Amino acid sequence: MMEDFSIEALRCIVGERGVITDEADLAPFCTDWRGMFKGRARCAVLPRCTAEVAAVVRLCAAARVPIVPHGGNTGLSGGATPDASGEQVILSLSRMSAIRSLDVIGETMEVEAGCILQVAQEAAADAGLLLPITLAAEGSARIGGILSTNAGGTNVLRYGMARGRVLGLEVVTADGSIVSGLRQLRKDNAGYDWKQLFIGTEGTLGIITAAVLQLAPKSRQRVTALLAVPSADEALAVLRLARQAIGETLNAFELMSGPALELVARHVGLTTPLAPAPWYVLLEASSSLPSLRDAVEEMLADVLERGAASDGVIAESEKQERELWHLRESITEAEAREGRSIKHDVSVPIALIPAFLRVADEAVMNAFPLARINAFGHAGDGNIHYNVIIPPDADSQALNRLVHDLVVDHGGSISAEHGIGQYRVDELHRCRSAPELELARRIKLALDPAGLMNPGKVLPQTIVTG
């Protein structure tokens, strides 16, 4: 039987300050970071502990009120933004931000979902360890959001996606049950690994309340280098040589097009220390062995001698390192200042990056002669941000379809790391096979039969309502 829902009942669970109903205070919860998506909500509720999350979910489930989980609101797919109905409740984990424990021997950390990524990184660093999830939004993104989106970032090449850091998980399921698997085990093959269902599913199957994360040893040496390369093919030749020479030390291998860095120079005022080139590679390696710098220098000399790169520079200080990374991290801001851009966060098998770029550039320029392509990304893991700057009246849906079809043709994914949210629901359904979508439907119905967990995100709501 459906029960009545009241704000008062929510306040009884989370306290007076734990429910936000005032329109002005609610507004930041109802729009995303970029201002692309806007919605309305009954209220935002901010529980203080897992038991309160479970009680809120039970209350909402009994009254059939949908829930939108909310972390740091830095997601780029509108996953944390409610729909326009004004019926949904936003459940923010921001008051659950404790680092519950840190084990220096086992190199693990148990942390609540609302903890800001940077706070968790700093706690690990204070203990002489590394939490190797790194992205430009780390000062705002929260662990629950990071895991729910299976975030990537610049360290994936060495440390994998966020999923790879999770040893244990605590969740509240759609019926309000608490399921705790907060084990610190690297080896645990006892039955289904159910935690994977909640990682990367953007709050559509349940609420993540805490996690045990695998940390890593902190390297004592770090080397950062920028290379000018004549083509994307040569960039992959550099990657191959780097993998052979210093493979296990390579944290990041970022590809940036010449036009991308021209935008940075124009709008942010930062320039590369190298001569203009069609492409650039920014690479970072780290190790505790003192020989790291010699090894990187040797590798760069080899790369230059073979002609895979035309020029290169190694940062001589932390300041220079930051300057090189600043070039890479300023591309998005520069692109935003240039005009309207349509973003494609795609991945293809690494070896196919040059072929994909060639075919996509030609197809986009044929269909949209006024377009300008701004391609850059985490090439070491096959992830390209294939962004296209187009005039305001250009058909963005046609552009999305064109690019995504080519991605699929190259065996790629239409979302490498930003997730589906509400932004790419239709495209996911166009691009994924029927058996894969059917499996997703069965999982959703099994775990959230009433369709109250972040409805309309990742999967169309019709999957539940028929």
Ligand X SMILES: Cc1cc2nc3c(=O)[nH]c(=O)nc-3n(C[C@H](O)[C@H](O)[C@H](O)COP(=O)(O)OP(=O)(O)OC[C@H]3O[C@@H](n4cnc5c(N)ncnc54)[C@H](O)[C@@H]3O)c2cc1C
Residue numbers at the binding site for ligand X (CB under 6 A): 33, 68-76, 79-80, 93, 113, 135-137, 141-142, 144-146, 148-149, 151-153, 202-203, 207-208, 417-418, 421, 454, 457
Q: How far apart are CA 464 and CA 144, in angstroms?
A: 24
> Which residue has its beta carbon closest to ligand X?
145
Selection from 385, 370, 392 nearest residue 331 by Cα: 385
Residue whose structure tokens are 């942010």: 268
Sign of CA dihedral 456, 459, 462, 466: negative
Q: Which is nearer to ligand X, 70 or 343 (CB)?
A: 70
Q: How far apart are CA 61 and CA 175, in angstroms?
A: 6
> What 8-state DSSP symbol labels residue 317?
S
Q: Which is nearer to ligand X, 141 or 212 (CB)?
A: 141
Q: Minimum distance from CB of 70 to ligand X (Å)?
A: 5
Q: Minimum distance from CB of 333 to ligand X (Å)?
A: 9
Q: Minimum distance from CB of 266 to ligand X (Å)?
A: 20
Q: Minimum distance from CB of 403 to ligand X (Å)?
A: 19
Q: Which is nearer to ligand X, 165 or 418 (CB)?
A: 418
Q: How far apart are CA 358 and CA 100, in angstroms?
A: 49
Chain centre to alpha carbon of residue 384 = 13
Q: Minimum distance from CB of 398 to ligand X (Å)?
A: 26
Q: Minimum distance from CB of 93 to ligand X (Å)?
A: 5
Q: Which is nearer to ligand X, 400 or 454 (CB)?
A: 454
Residue 361 burial (C-beta neighbours within 10 Å; 0-12, 13-18, 19+): middle
Write the single-letter amino acid at 464.
Answer: V
Q: How far apart are CA 126 and CA 119, in angstroms?
A: 11
Enumerate residues 6+ apart whose C-beta is below 8 A from 242. Answer: 250, 253, 283, 285, 299, 303
Q: Which is nearer to ligand X, 108 or 209 (CB)?
A: 209
Selection from 284, 431, 427 nearest residue 342 by Cα: 427
Task: Record the tokens describing residue 251, joined without a space.
Answer: 């944290």
Q: Which is nearer to ligand X, 73 or 374 (CB)?
A: 73
Q: Minimum distance from CB of 3 to ligand X (Å)?
A: 24
Q: Which is nearer to ligand X, 75 or 412 (CB)?
A: 75
Q: Which is nearer to ligand X, 50 or 224 (CB)?
A: 50
Q: Which is nearer to ligand X, 135 or 228 (CB)?
A: 135
What pairing do the DSSP bridges indicate for beta strands 166-173 and 89-92?
unpaired
Task: Record the tokens describing residue 435, joined without a space.
Answer: 């058996």
Task: Record the tokens describing residue 14, joined without a space.
Answer: 């989370």
Q: Which is nearer to ligand X, 172 or 389 (CB)?
A: 172
Query: Over the Cα atoms of the chain, what is R_g?
Result: 23
Q: Minimum distance from CB of 189 to ligand X (Å)?
A: 25
> What 8-state DSSP symbol labels residue 313?
E
Q: Minimum distance from CB of 344 to ligand X (Å)?
A: 14
**Angle subtended at Cα 22 by Cα 19 and Cα 24, rounded to the nearest 5 degrees:** 125
Q: How far apart are CA 192 and CA 446, in angstroms?
A: 15
**Angle subtended at Cα 451 by Cα 434 and Cα 212, rounded to the nearest 5 degrees:** 90
The DSSP result for 421-445, as a single string, is TTTSHHHHHHHS-HHHHHHHHHHHH
Q: Minimum distance from CB of 168 to ligand X (Å)?
A: 15
